[in-house]
Structure 1
């Protein structure tokens, strides 16, 4: 069983129980008093797979040009690093345009590669053109910029739910760099020389941190997920080298309830339970072309939002 949801009315005269199952069906039972109503339990199919495509190529509102990173803000809207349009774009989960945020005060054009949002709704944009992290509020006002002294070629950004620290994968340095939200550089881990060893990364891309502080890094050219503990110590790595779960150059990464890991590769999206391959989320007919950023909503069942970079759109899947 995937999950059980129970709803009661206030006086307890009826109860609705929904059991989510792994085979894509839900079992729904409704009782009045202690008696089930006729026809219960009912088995209802659950829609899975691709449910929505949002946007098209262009620079107008609701359009994208090489979208990379995606995140969900406090209003449950989708925030996208619209890379080659040099902006952040915010839409509702239904695909309705809300806002565009541009930053034109930098030496080079703002070029967001990834986006992470803190618990107080501060936006942390990874601006690789200027080798910096741009912290801004939800209205697009820049609060601070940092990382210029350390970052060589930043690709992915994540915020720890444990201590709020900002983690950045530095592809050019083959390491992960850690900052406070106020911009203080704390440390880095991973080797500065690329390699295949336990402590080494080779062009790291996405990064995500669990509620226990475990750090999951998409180790792109090593074609694996590298896992470190809250003290930056190597724990283990995992991959899959056959079938639908073959991990070809992982890029984006997201975590669901510390239980499932979602990974984008060059042409697919994979789901792992801890370190074991569970399933492929997309199918060939969905036409993903270089999916990079990935974010999860809090819906039940979970919705997976992916930046389909070379198709210049977002795609939403139900899993």
Structure 2
């Protein structure tokens, strides 16, 4: 027969790797030999356990308070672990890992999609749980969108997200070939239906238009925010207006549309009418693979090189500035940056953890 572990002892095991030396020492003193295993085994609810310990005189009130705080940290963890601190671009950066959403115990990130910063908050597509989440600046879960159970033919699977200046959230639900538009309260206000022959990957907004990349058709589709099809650019090939697997799009303050052309290893730039302007490629050997892309408030461009596992930073006029986080990224398949450029989020595979770089 499998032996049972008391809830308090289990709490100790759960906390063991999350404590600093001082907390570890205090917890050992508190737990010590003060556990009545037979009694603890009968108390499945943590609040009952703490109450019984208090009433039984096992621990003082101050110690009980500490244990409750520690248990709360397990139930609603920050789940932001500082991994390394180092210098890049003459600035001190810290790299942290977000392993799960905050606010719902046990619901870890599972098959993440794209994410963006909106007003300093990170909006994350948590595809594995059929929801999207807004994380505040402390990475706590502020609100959720979805799962919209029973409203669509298939479960809601947000692959990409864009947010308008008037706080409308555009979720690309590729499983249902649609863009689900929600207000700030999570209510669906409109649905844009996409063709059934596409493989939609990324959604972005420019002016009052919606752009969607189609990695099957190697093109970018353009719609109004009311869902009216306007135009497209692309087709498989190597020409100025052709792509091979255009994964992501970013738009700067001048409404320049930048498309990552993965197969051609470059970023192709267009105006709002989808006319070709110029492209970024190679950059003197600094850029090999082009996957993800983001733009900060000064129109600096950040490109994820998923082969060399780094982010290449360019100025607004396309000049190489520096390489960031080389060797610390894994594969930066997804990328987001704040307007100030002081927080950069990257994710590779497996798609269950976010790396957050803060300076």
Cα RMSD of the aligned pairs, angstroms, is 2.5
Q: TM-score, normalised by structure 2?
A: 0.68
Aligned partners of 1:271 and 1:278 also within 8 Å: yes
Counterpart selection for 1:157 from 192, 203, 213: 203
**What is the aligned length?**
266
Aligned partners of 2:297 and 2:338 also within 8 Å: no
After the TM superposition, which segments of 4 or more aligned residues of structure 1 sit over 6 Å from their partners?
Answer: none
Aligned partners of 2:202 and 2:248 also within 8 Å: yes
Residues 61 and 164 of structure 1, relative CA distance in 2, 3 Å threshold: farther
SS at match of 1:84: helix
2:172 aligns with 126
Counterpart selection for 1:221 from 263, 274, 277: 263
- Judging by fraction of residues, say which structure has more helix: 2
Q: Which runs of 5+ in 2 are unaligned?
A: 1-87
Aligned partners of 2:302 and 2:314 also within 8 Å: yes
Mapping of residues 76-87 of structure 1, within 5 Å: 76-87=120-131
SS at match of 1:145: strand
C-alpha separation between the residues in 2 aligned to 1:311 and 1:112?
14
Mapping of residues 84-99 of structure 1, within 5 Å: 84-99=128-143
C-alpha separation between the residues in 2 aligned to 1:187 and 1:150?
17
Q: TM-score, normalised by structure 1?
A: 0.75
C-alpha separation between the residues in 2 aligned to 1:53 and 1:149?
37
SS at match of 1:216: strand
Q: Is 1:137 the counterpart of 2:183 in the alignment? A: yes
Q: Which runs of 5+ in 1 are unaligned?
A: 1-21, 25-45
C-alpha separation between the residues in 2 aligned to 1:309 and 1:138?
30
C-alpha separation between the residues in 2 aligned to 1:64 and 1:247?
30
C-alpha separation between the residues in 2 aligned to 1:291 and 1:67?
13
1:172 aligns with 216
1:212 aligns with 254
C-alpha separation between the residues in 1 aligned to 2:193 and 2:291?
22
2:112 aligns with 67
Residues 151 and 254 of structure 1, relative CA distance in 2, 3 Å threshold: farther
- Judging by fraction of residues, say which structure has more strand: 1
Give the CA deviation at 1:176. 0.8
Counterpart selection for 1:280 from 323, 348, 353: 323
If asked which structure has higher relative contact order (CA below 8 Å, sep 6+), I would say: 1
Mapping of residues 96-111 of structure 1, within 5 Å: 96-102=140-146, 103-104=148-149, 105-111=151-157
